[in-house]
Structure 1
Amino acid sequence: MKKKIFLIIILSFIISCKSDKKKEEVINNNATIYYLIRHAEKDRSTKNKDPVLNKLGLKRAENWAKVFKDIPFDKIYSTDYKRTQQTAFPTASSKGLDVLSYDAENLFNKNFKYKTDKQTVLIVGHSNTTPAFVNAIIGKKEHLQIDDSDNGKLFIVTVDEGVASLIIENHNE
């Protein structure tokens, strides 16, 4: 009986060591990983061209911070609009990072590629700029505008040795 318990303890230790190593390999790889989201729900009761988030949007922004809790972001980018800044802020705050601005008219250029090479980056955009950014990174025009009611789509683009792969997740409640 003591041998069985000892064997179980040893096997548990070995298994836990192996899983930790895999996690380190993922964190230490040389890929560039982009997480792209659209801003959370905005206040539609105003005609203001730069509205803030509504209550649901503020809640979603906090939820994104929870979704990204274990992601070791190096940088967080947003357009200069209040709704994108407010969406990015909880995640940036939880990581001790500033929210950096990007020009939605000049998306994935050489300078941006250079600044983000081999890093893990969150990019907060809009229903039209987020899919356009994804298309620019993957080098294909596959993704069109995000539906106006969809604030929970997450695009994860990994670029490893010049090859881009894409995962799309739905975080709508």
Structure 2
Amino acid sequence: MRLPHRFRFPFALLLASLAAACSTAPSRDVSAPLTFVVVRHAEKATDDPENPSLSALGQARAAALAERLRDAPLVAAYATEYRRTQQTAQPSADARTLPVTAYYARGPASEIAAQWKQAHATGTVLVVGHSNTVPDLVAALCGCVTTPMDDSEYDRLSIVRIGGDGRATLEVGRYGSSPIP
């Protein structure tokens, strides 16, 4: 069945609009990578056994993280629902007037990583988690093997870069001052 001529253009426009609306993933710019910076929360205080805030050392580490990310094109900051992770991300987010978006700490890493990859096409995304969640998040983001994180390790900085071709690379470094043993 052929549509009458007067309906062809609006119908074609409707189809084009529907096709555009169905495309939910942002297009990836092949020249600019999507970068995830994943860290564990900084050192915690002893003020609350269930939901502690950052200690003075932890606040200094959070400031060091913000300084480390000063020139990065930060587009989002994610932290679990706990005070220590929120406070670790806050200085970096404040420098860009970005909100710190909470994510559920016990959610499946693969699902969380897929959501972040779909939500962001380029730029740098800060993710703050916990010693028992960061390695799984990094592995899910890069599709690679990661090493476990000791409960006393606060300075690991994992950088996952995802190129326009979808390939990921992982760089692991350190940031802030390491406590003297």
> What TM-score, normalized by structure 2, do the two folds share?
0.74
Q: 1:32 and 1:108 mapped to 2: Cα distance?
A: 17
1:70: how far off? 0.6
Sequence identity (%): 36
**Preserved CA contact (<8 Å) 1:36 1:155:** yes
Other-structure match for 1:69: 70
User: Which residue number in structure 2 is paired with residue 3 of structure 1?
Assistant: none
Question: What is aligned with 1:91?
Answer: 92
Q: Say if 1:151 and 1:172, in contact at 8 Å, map to a contact too.
A: no
Cα distance in 1 for residues equivalent to 2:71 and 2:50: 34
Q: How does 1:115-154 map to 2 (within 5 A)?
A: 115-140=119-144, 142-154=145-157
Question: Where in structure 2 are there 5+ consecutive unaligned residues?
Answer: 1-28
Check whether the contact 1:153–1:172 (CA below 8 A) recurs between aligned residues. Answer: no
Counterpart amino acid of 1:156? I
1:11 corresponding residue in structure 2 = none
Amino acid of the structure 2 residue aligned with 1:115:
A
Match of 1:158 in 2: 161
Q: Which moved more, 1:142-151 or 1:129-138?
A: 142-151
C-alpha distance in structure 2 between counterparts of 1:56 and 1:120, whole Å? 25
How much has 1:144 moved relative to structure 2? 3.4
1:103 correspondence with 2:95: no
The answer to whether the 8 Å contact 1:34/1:121 transfers is yes
The amino acid across from 1:33 in the alignment is T
Q: Secondary structure at the match of 1:151?
A: coil
Contact 1:78/1:123, CA 8 A, preserved across alignment: yes
Judge conservation of contact 2:159–2:171 (CA < 8 Å) in 1: yes
Distance 2:173 2:84 in 1: 21
SS at match of 1:52: coil
Deviations 1:105-138, CA, capped at 9 Å, x for gaps: 1334233321123332010111111111011112
Q: Which structure has the larger Rg over C-alpha atoms?
A: 2
SS of match in other structure, 2:160: strand
* SS of corresponding position for 1:85: helix
3-state DSSP of counterpart to 1:53? coil
Q: Secondary structure at the match of 1:90?
A: helix
- Given that residues 150 and 172 in structure 1 are in contact (C-alpha distance below 8 angstroms), is that contact kept between their aligned partners in structure 2? no
Gaps in structure 1 of 5+ consecutive residues: 1-26
3-state DSSP of counterpart to 1:84: helix
Residue identity matched to 1:168: V
What's the secondary structure of 1:63's corresponding residue? helix
Shift of residue 103, structure 1, vs aligned partner: 2.2
Distance of 1:51 and 1:165 partners within structure 2 = 33
